[in-house]
Amino acid sequence: MEQTWRWFGPDDAVQLPHIRQTGATGIVTALHHIPYGVVWSVEEIEKRKAEIAADSSLGLRWSVVESLPIHENIKIGEGDLSPLFDNYRQSLRNLAQCGVTTVCYNFMPVVDWTRTELAYPLPGGGTALRFNMHEYAAFDCFMLQRPGAEDEQSPEVLARAKEWYGRSSEADRNKLLANIMAGLPGAYDRYDIPGLRAILARYEGINASSLRENLACFLREVIPTAEEVGIRMCIHPDDPPRSLMGLPRIVSNADDLAFILGAVDSPANGITLCSGSLGAGPSNDVPAIAKRFADRIWFAHLRNVAKDPDGSFMEADHLGGDTDMVAVVSALLEEQKRRKDSGDPRWRIPMRPDHGHELLDDVGKPTHPGYPAIGRLKGLAELRGVMTAVSSLKGLPL
Ligand code: DNO
């Protein structure tokens, strides 16, 4: 597998030479400064490529776009969408022209990955990302005051949510809102409570099947262009894979993935296997999903979560947690062999260590939540060990 690393651009506290030291060779990045819906010009793409290649001794290249975001109007299916589809297609053409041909995106309404706690203490002083069900419920029921939210919670979670809310200070509540918003990667579209209520109102009447239809419409609009220019699109699963704030989520399990891949049956219509996002779903068998959809996995995010019975979960060590990472890696290496044997020149699957604990000297550094250097370096090193061992024991190309 191609070992890659997410880099948020020149302002990222983890810099390109650091990335080289981790052993990664591929860069995963996006033009975060360009607003959603606006074309990524060849000039801007080339500029980012040149930044990555500036020091040729590092041997880094831009392997994967994460993400080319989808404008909220497309998800809602509202207004004149044709300029947005045109722009998305143009961005794909421009990326292909610049040789960046793997494009990750998601279809999560309003928010991206969502946690309630960004610095859950670990023994010895590190920290981890966590989703606490009662804090999420306190947010949804008592801060957002979303009608019907209380009915979605178990009495036990609701009681703890009430208790949390009752003793929370204004600072605690502001922090919870900021934590929930932290997963949005660009410089745009962070919401406060009134802003959230307004965007949620725009989703009124959208259920899972209409959201699915809006995704299928997007795929019909862009996949033919992606196929024509040699781009492999790979949708990222919902994180966590369940409805939040009453919004439908439709990239959460094997049935959803089967629907998406069937909506436009093209090799350009693929998936990002995110073992952590899918792994937070109690009924998701991640190695089975990896095997079932192997031939359309164009990108892999490898990390692990440990789930609690109430719906809470935390980010575990990359080889710890609930998902059998050796089985996931084996499925991906088997697929690589199949691709290589069939003559696919792009047979190697880009993978990156996703999220990482904040450890050692990283504690307190201004890194992006979930993206410190040392925790991800540890994850990558462990995953590299698994990849090397499985490849060697099973005779599979690395
Ligand atoms: C979280 C990431 C996601 C991912 C997007 C892809 O750490 O994996 O935010 O980048 O959902 O569009």
Cα dihedral across residues 231, 303, 120, 172: positive or negative: positive
User: Ligand 1 pocket, 370 CB below 6 A?
Assistant: yes
Q: For residue 179, give both structure tokens.
A: 């934590």
Q: For residue 150, give both structure tokens.
A: 């209380």
What DSSP element (H or E) covers 29? strand 26-29
- CB atoms under 10 Å from CB of 348, counted, come to 17
Alpha carbon distance 107, 229 (integer Å): 22
Q: State the pLDDT at residue 186.
A: 65
Cα dihedral across residues 362, 364, 365, 366: positive or negative: positive
Strand partners, 62: 27
Query: Is residue 361 flagged as an active site residue?
Result: no
What DSSP element (H or E) covers 156? helix 155-167
Q: State the pLDDT at residue 306.
A: 98
190, amino acid identity: R
Phi, psi of 236 (to 5 degrees): -90, 140
What is the per-residue burial (b if ≥16 Cβ within 10 Å, else e) of 320-332? ebbbbbeebbbbb
Q: For residue 334, give both structure tokens.
A: 């088997």
Are 30 and 362 in contact by the 8 Å Cβ rule? The answer is no
Phi, psi of 170 (to 5 degrees): -60, -40
Pick the closest to residue 44 from 15, 76, 9, 75 (CA basis): 9
Q: For residue 93, give both structure tokens.
A: 């053409």
The angle subtended at Cα 293 by Cα 288 and Cα 294, nearest 5°, is 90
Q: State the pLDDT at residue 277.
A: 98
Are 387 and 329 in contact by the 8 Å Cβ rule? The answer is yes
Alpha carbon distance 185, 183 (integer Å): 6
Ligand 1 pocket, mutate which of 70, 104, 239 (most atoms under 8 A from CB): 239
Residue whose entry in the numeric block shows the structure tokens 């550094």: 365
- Full pLDDT tens readout for the chain, 398 residues: 999 999 999 999 999 999 999 999 999 999 999 999 999 999 999 999 999 999 999 999 999 999 999 999 999 999 999 999 999 999 999 999 999 999 999 999 999 999 999 999 999 999 999 999 999 999 999 999 999 999 999 999 999 999 999 999 999 999 999 999 998 876 556 899 999 999 999 999 999 999 999 999 999 999 999 999 999 999 999 999 999 999 999 999 999 999 999 999 999 999 999 999 999 999 999 999 999 999 999 999 999 999 999 999 999 999 999 999 999 999 999 999 999 999 999 999 999 999 999 999 999 899 999 999 999 999 999 999 999 999 999 999 99
Are 87 and 37 in contact by the 8 Å Cβ rule? The answer is yes
- Tell me the CA distances in angstroms from 117 to 88, 133, 314, 316, one per residue in order: 34, 11, 9, 14
Alpha carbon distance 229, 216 (integer Å): 20
**Cα 377 to ligand 1 centroid, rounded to whole Å:** 18
**Cα 394 to ligand 1 centroid, rounded to whole Å:** 31
**Cα 343 to ligand 1 centroid, rounded to whole Å:** 30
Query: Is residue 234 flagged as an active site residue?
Result: no
Q: State the pLDDT at residue 212.
A: 98
**Cα 163 to ligand 1 centroid, rounded to whole Å:** 32
Ligand 1 closest atom vs CA 272: 6
Ligand 1 closest atom vs CA 108: 11
DSSP assigned state of 310 = T
Q: How many Cα neighbours within 13 Å face the side chain of 295?
A: 9
Cα dihedral across residues 45, 51, 57, 58: positive or negative: negative
| Phi and psi based region of residue 228 (left: phi greater than 0; alpha: psi -120 to 50; beta: remaining) | alpha
Whether a cis peptide bond, with omega within 30° of 0, leads into 309 is no
DSSP three-state, residue 168 = coil
Q: State the pLDDT at residue 190.
A: 80
Alpha carbon distance 233, 102 (integer Å): 6
Query: Is residue 141 flagged as an active site residue?
Result: no
Cα dihedral across residues 27, 32, 36, 39: positive or negative: negative
Q: For residue 205, give both structure tokens.
A: 């009447």
